[in-house]
Amino acid sequence: MDTAQTVIFSTLALILILFIWGRWRYDLVALFALLVTVVAGLVPGDAAFSGFGHPAVITVAAVLIVSRALFNSGMVDYIVRLMSHAGDNPIAQLTALVIAVTICSGFMNNIGALALFMPVAIRMARKNDRSPSLFLMPLAFGSLLGGLITQVGTPPNIIISIFRAETAAGEPFRMFDYAPVGAGIALAGVIFIITIGWRLLPKRKGQASREELFEIDDYITEVVVPAKSSLTGKRLRDLENATDGDIVVVGHIRNDQKFPVPSTRRTFKEGDTLIIRANAEELQELLDTTGLELAGSEKIREEALSSDEIMIMEAAVNRNSVLEGRTVRSLKLRSRYGVNLLGLSRSGGRLRSSIDSIRIKTGDVLLLQGPGDTLQEVLPTLGLLPLVERGLRVDQPPRVVLAISVFIAAIAVAALGYLPIQVSFVGAALILVLTGFLSLREIYESVDWPVIVLLGAMIPVSQALEATGGASMIAGGILNLSGNVAPWFTLTLVLVGTMFLSDLVNNAAAAVLMAPIAISISAGINASADPFLMAVAVGASCAFLTPIGHQSNTLVMGPGGYKFSDYWRMGLPLEIIIVLVAVPLIMLVWPL
């Protein structure tokens, strides 16, 4: 092993450790790896950022934009409406949800498909007094299975297609080249989930319901402004600054008239009732300092905190949210965004300590209060996904038809080879923007920028792995391990190895790292690269063993009340089934 190979292997080992550790976000880790390889001379300086112009990066961004436009068109909302016909039988509901999310995720972003059906699943569970854990992990797994069906279903498919064009067959995989293998795997996976898989899940309590979240005496309290109070005639901001604690007024009642989320300039009068968020210590300090009195109400009703304009909404913290790792106190949600945080649930249970000092994690569920329009704008800005209060849009059929027509046209143009997929989908995105399905702000919000940076940085690193002979060396080790056994065994090793890697790191990174190795293995046995690239594509999208392998798994962890070990229960047998189905299908459709 020469110096260049030592450097590239050391770099890859380090970034894998950092990916698994999770302290640094994966796009920062990828940039770090890129800079190391540039400084070491493995990547030319003038080509350091060539990955950002790579067709795979452009295609992923364009597909995300088109997915958001389809969401805005109301197309999928019609599908969501059909869920109401599933009845009250849990098996029928589960079947409808998993099939619907699998089909949708075949043609749009996995997270987008999951985000559409999570609120529906939670409503179904609560309506029938069931735990959301029955539905949410199967829903997440279904969103991953659907991505296997088409080229645009998931970023690994796009990446593998471009690798094939640049280093193997000279042309990319087409739109539906993935379908014979991907659809077979998806079908087997869905059948397993709805017949056996869901039975393997423990019965977790799941996310606290709204009713439970409103039983938060530690947080929400009614107080009355008596004549002797020092706050009489003062403004709301004076109350919130009266103590060193973090006091937030979330409602103001005067003469039976409600003012949810009152202005900080609003003044108090004798007899006013205030609804404040404060823990026990902060409340006592406030009463002692201002002369306010407890109203004596045993329970705060939701109606007191909402109105025609003010909404109460539950939202899950997405990965890469600006809230992640920060305390509520540091966010200043009221002054910066015009919303109040009423409660916080983690792993299915309410947190009873002062929420202002809690550091928010991915998967936490927040109970927010604010004007409806403000909440709709703030949620994507903060990286939150609505869980229950997501309203359905019913656009005019012509607009839905137009969006679908543009999407189908982009697929057809790419599938028939008239234009490269990156060009056809950029064109579709432009048309959908010009026809009003997306605003300029929504364009940039819809792109998963950490994934874009990850791809742009990791592609030159992957090319360095191949250029230094590192990919060939790893391929040689795998071939030595498989010995003189049949080629299907080597194909199985590639598939299982990619699946294992994808359970630990981002699936796009797994595809970028494994693609050159797969090509080198195929060259080592004088076989076609297609089956090995297809094995990488399948393996990169099958991260079912951990909540960190894919963002869909992470998002359902909090609302479903799952533990880290719960993913093995259904994920391990599912991955075994996928291997048993995928290897024969790949060899049948893409002969060695």
Q: How high is the pLDDT of residue 570?
A: 93
| Residue linked to tokens 């005496």 | 217
Place of tokens 């970023």: 155
For residue range 87-101, what is the model confidence (pLDDT) as tens digits?
Answer: 778 888 899 999 999
List the single range of 191-195, 398-402, 424-428, 529-533 with lowest mean pLDDT: 398-402
Which of the four pLDDT bands, split at 50, 70 and 90, describes residue 182?
very high
Position 116 confidence tier, pLDDT thresholds 50, 70, 90: confident
Do 464 and 8 meet the contact criterion of CB atoms below 8 Å apart?
yes
What the chain holds in terms of domains, given with CATH numbers, is: 3-207+444-589 (no CATH), 210-305 (3.30.70.1450), 310-386 (3.30.70.1450)
DSSP reduced 3-state for 40: coil
Per the CB < 8 A criterion, the answer to whether 334 and 248 are in contact is yes
415 or 95, which is more confident? 95
Concatenated DSSP letters of 172-219:
---TTTTHHHHHHHHHHHHHHHHHTGGGGS-----SPPHHHHT--TTT
Reported as a single tens digit per residue, the pLDDT across 288-303 is 778 887 775 545 555 5
Report the pLDDT value the prediction gives residue 393, as an integer from 0 to 100.
Answer: 47
398: pLDDT confidence band, cut at 50, 70 and 90? low
Under the banding of pLDDT at 50, 70 and 90, the label for residue 337 is confident
**By percentage, how much of the chain surpasses pLDDT 90?**
26
Residue 6's pLDDT is 92
105: Cα separation from own chain's centroid: 13
pLDDT at 217: 47
What pLDDT is recorded for position 284?
75
pTM value is: 0.78
Q: Are the CB atoms for 509 and 554 separated by under 8 Å?
A: no
pLDDT of residue 389: 46
User: Regarding beta strands 310-317 and 365-371, do their DSSP bridges make them parallel or antiparallel, or are they unpaired?
Assistant: antiparallel
- 524 CB contacts (<8 Å, ≥6 apart)? 472, 475, 476, 479
What is the rounded average pLDDT of the residues 322-343?
A: 79
pLDDT at residue number 186: 96
pLDDT band at residue 321 under the 50/70/90 scheme: confident
Partner residues linked to 317 by β-bridges: 384
Per-residue pLDDT, 397: 56
- pLDDT digits over 340-390, tens only? 787 777 765 656 555 667 788 887 888 888 887 788 788 888 888 887 644
Highest mean pLDDT out of 187-201, 245-259, 345-359: 187-201
Q: What is the mean pLDDT of residues 428-433?
A: 92
What are 548-560's pLDDT values in tens digits? 778 888 888 878 8
Q: What is the predicted pLDDT for the residue at 391?
A: 44
CB neighbours of 107 closer than 8 A, spacing ≥ 6?
70, 150, 152, 153, 407, 411
**Helices 90-105 and 110-127 meet at what angle, rounded to 10?**
170
How high is the mean pLDDT of the chain? 82
Q: Assess contact for 326 and 359: CB atoms under 8 A.
A: yes
